[in-house]
Amino acid sequence: MNVKVGISNRHVHLTYEDYKILFGDIPLTKRNDLTQPNTYACNETVTIKGEKRELSNVRVLGPCRTYTQVEVSKTDAYYLGVNPPVRNSGKLDDAYEITIIGPIGEITKKACIIATRHIHVDKNIRREHNLEGIEKVSVKISGEKSGIIENVFLKESDEAYFELHLDTDDGNAFLLNNGDEVEIII
Amino acid sequence: MNVKVGISNRHVHLTYEDYKILFGDIPLTKRNDLTQPNTYACNETVTIKGEKRELSNVRVLGPCRTYTQVEVSKTDAYYLGVNPPVRNSGKLDDAYEITIIGPIGEITKKACIIATRHIHVDKNIRREHNLEGIEKVSVKISGEKSGIIENVFLKESDEAYFELHLDTDDGNAFLLNNGDEVEIII
pLDDT at A34: 96
pTM for the complete prediction? 0.95
Residues 6+ apart with CB under 8 A from A105: A21, A22
One-letter-per-residue 3-state SS of A61-86: EECCCCCCEEECCHHHHHHHCCCCCE
Nearest to A147 among B74, B150, B169 (CB): B150
Look up residue A105 and give its amino acid.
G
Tens digits of per-residue pLDDT, B38-80? 999 999 999 999 999 999 999 999 999 999 999 999 999 999 9
Query: SS3 for B112?
Result: strand
Decide if A8 contacts A71 (C-beta within 8 A): yes
Dmax (CA) of chain B: 49
pLDDT at B80: 98
pLDDT in tens, chain A (186 residues): 999 999 999 999 999 999 999 999 999 999 999 999 999 999 999 999 999 999 999 999 999 999 999 999 999 999 999 999 999 999 999 999 999 999 999 999 999 999 999 999 999 999 999 999 999 999 999 999 999 999 999 999 999 999 999 999 999 999 999 999 999 998
Alpha-carbon span A73 to A87, nearest angstrom: 12
> What ipTM was predicted for this assembly?
0.94
By C-alpha distance, which of B85, B89, B87, B67 is closest to B77?
B85
Residue of A145, A146, A166 to mutate when probing chain B, most B C-beta within 10 A: A145
Contact residues of B toward A, CB < 8 A: 73-75, 78, 86, 117, 138, 144-151, 168-170, 172-175
Cβ separation B144–A151 shorter than 8 A = yes
Tens digits of per-residue pLDDT, B100-136? 999 999 999 999 999 999 999 999 999 999 999 999 9
pLDDT at B150: 98
Residue of A9, A72, A144 to mutate when probing chain B, most B C-beta within 10 A: A144
pLDDT at A78: 97
